[in-house]
Structure 1
Amino acid sequence: MHPSLWQRLLPSLAVLGSVVSLCVGTSFAKHLFPVIGAQGTTALRVGFSALILIAIWRPWRFAPTKANLQQIFIFGTVLGLMNLLFYMAIKRLPFGVTVAIEFIGPLTVAVWTSRRLLDLVWLALAAIGLFMLLILPLFGVQVGTLDPIGLLYAIVAAVCWGGYIVLGKRTGQMHGGMVVSLALLSAAIIVVPFGIAEAGMKLLTPSLLLYGLAVAAVSSAIPYSLEMFALKRMSHSGFSTMLATEPAVAALAGMLLLSEHLSVFQWTAIGIIMAAAMGSALTSQPHPSPEIKQLKPDTQANPA
């Protein structure tokens, strides 16, 4: 029996729901910046995300070895830095622009590991989008003011996202739930001290703790669950293509929830980067879906 239209659409809707949930959670998180800063917000989000996923997966059941724990800690360290730098970037840059810049990280990894001529086309297309966002303003082209320090944070976060994917593949033989929960715990160990240094005892304010818990649930637990559902039911290329909608969703969330308005030129640049990411996904060599979700800067995921 052929699957119904609803059954075929459901995995794609799950990915879209994950992206929307992540972007809404990040937009709500940004409201905490004036109170506890980007570092304090990252500490609450990553810390509560770790607690939620540890409670769900109970990673001790899988008896990780010392070598497993070492790999996961390195993986989690990169994940923590990626999240911290992402939040520090969106403090200074529009949400959609930051996400678009970050997508260069995984796109570069995809091209580097493939080395097909066609993939160089997608990388060149992404480079055009980045040129429009980052380089043209240096020559006086009015495409929207972007903070240079924020751009630096976003670029380094993109490098971390690329490293996260490479390190994540090395943990592929381990149980996905164990990896992601322990990796987030490692990430929390890295970022929480930054949050304490930034916000101090404010982090223990009951109302802020509840807000942070809600942000962690919306930007981590819900997207993670939806993406795990989708990964089991759709191809990797289809999943990645849907995930490439994130810069546009982030830009819309920034506009509707944060009053961040982009120029037509910036929207065009974001669209070009999205097209590069989608093209790379649609023309990628088929391979089995990963067991572990590729957590985005805001994760989670994305990001996350």
Structure 2
Amino acid sequence: MVFLRLFTSTLVLLAVARPSWRGRSRADWLVVAGFGASLGTMNWAIYQSFARIPLGLAVTIEFIGPLTLAVLGSRRARDLVWVGLAALGVVLLGFEPADLDPVGVGFALVAGAAWASYILLSARTGQRWPGLDGLAIASAFATLLLTGPAIVSGGTALLDPHVLMVGAMVGVLSSVIPYSCELVALRTLAPSVFGILMSLEPAAAALAAIVVLGELLSPLQWLAVACVVAASVGATRSRPVLAEPAPD
């Protein structure tokens, strides 16, 4: 599914952007390759986590990546409060181990690290590549990274019309539209401000899991999600909004 999601989004983005492959510097290619690697890793790891722990909890743990990015960008002691609040949320999740497969938690943490890299490299890609060119090429790079593993694990199922249709829908709705909007937004927003706008994602994921998958969270797990959301809002809002530096 991750491969089909990226493959579909790549086809759409390449058709829309029609990126120019010439006249780019080595630094431009390194940035877009790193962006593609973070994009592929983020998608692969979080889907592996979804397969093992509830969706809302997986996204809550994953959000520790962007939260850490916001906190590391600050030099004030009071930001330790937000780190402690986020840590409390993670500890609360651990009180109900029946829902927390260690491997699923590990994949969510990997996805969080990749998400933090995605935010930074998306901003850099938007500065170096015009329009959606960088996103299209990064998506193609991520697709190439996952092609071999997808063929090995999926086999002929990748040719099933129903699977292809679902993969195409997921690719457009969860990759083409949001990633394009994020790339454009990060051209003018500092990553810290972007973190504010993304801070409700764990709660939104938990609600989606209830509606679509029937995955119900306990009151303690909802409290854990609330702690991570509050920590992310506090950490990002307490930072002064500064313009991002120009690319080297």
> Shorter-normalised TM-score: what interval?
0.7 to 0.9
Matched, 1:181 2:136: yes
Structure 1 pair 197–290 and aligned structure 2 pair: CA distance change class (3 A): farther
Number of the residue aligned with 1:253: 208
Cα deviations by residue, 1:112-143 (Å, 9 ceiling, x for unpaired):
22222222221111111011113x346xxxxx
The C-alpha deviation readout for 1:186-212, integer Å capped at 9, x for no partner, is 111112222111111211122221221
> What is the SS of the residue equivalent to 2:78?
helix
Is the counterpart of residue 264 in structure 1 residue 219 in structure 2?
Answer: yes
Note the C-alpha offset of 1:93. 1.1
Q: Does 1:155 align with 2:115?
A: no
* Distance of aligned partners of 1:104 and 1:235 in 2 relative to their CA distance in 1, 3 Å threshold: closer
Q: What are the residue-to-residue correspondences of 1:52-131 with 2, within 5 Å?
A: 52-60=12-20, 63-131=23-91
C-alpha deviations, 1:247-276, integer Å up to 9, x for none?
Answer: 111101000100111111001100110001
1:233 Cα deviation (Å)? 8.4
CA distance in 1, matches of 2:123, 2:189: 19
Distance apart, 1:149 and its partner CA = 1.1
Partner of 1:218: 173
Greater displacement, 171-180 / 211-220:
171-180
Q: Is the 8 A contact 2:126 2:187 kept in 1?
A: no
Q: Report deviation, 1:221.
A: 2.1
Query: How far did residue 281 of structure 1 move?
Result: 2.0
CA distance in 1, matches of 2:8, 2:92: 37
Report the residue type matching 2:92 in the other structure: M
- Report if aligned partners of 1:89, 1:153 keep a CA contact under 8 Å in 2: yes
Matching residue's letter, 1:212: G
In the alignment, residue 103 of structure 2 is paired with which amino acid?
Answer: I
Identity %: 39
User: What is the one-letter code of the residue matched to 1:278?
Assistant: V
TM-score where L is the length of structure 1: 0.73
C-alpha distance in 1 between matches for 2:187 and 2:128: 17
Q: Deviations over 1:41-63 (max 9, x none)?
A: 11000111122122222221774
Tell me the alpha carbon deviations over residues 99-120 of structure 1, each in whole angstroms, 9 at most, x when there is no partner: 1111111111221222222222
The separation in 2 between residues aligned to 1:220 and 1:172, in whole angstroms, is 16
Q: 1:279 aligns with which of 204, 223, 234?
A: 234
Q: CA deviation at 1:65?
A: 3.0
Amino acid at match of 1:178: D
The one-letter code matched in structure 2 to 1:215 is V
Cα distance change of structure 1 residues 223 and 257 upon mapping to structure 2, 3 Å threshold: same
Give the distance between the partners of 1:255 and 1:232, measured in 2 at CA. Answer: 34
Total equivalences in the alignment:
245
Query: 1:173/1:221 Cα in 2 relative to 1: closer, same or farther (>3 Å)?
Result: closer
Contact 1:81–1:191 (Cα < 8 Å) also in 2: no
Task: Give 1:284 deviation, angstroms.
Answer: 1.9
Residues 1:107 and 1:238: Cα distance change in structure 2 (over 3 Å): closer
RMSD of aligned C-alpha atoms?
A: 2.6
CA contact (8 A) 1:231 1:290 kept: no
The C-alpha deviation readout for 1:54-98, integer Å capped at 9, x for no partner, is 222222177433442233113211221111011100111111111
CA contact (8 A) 1:236 1:286 kept: no
Partner-residue secondary structure (3-state), 1:115: coil
- TM-score w.r.t. structure 2 length? 0.88
Give 1:224's aligned amino acid: Y
Report the residue type matching 2:146 in the other structure: V
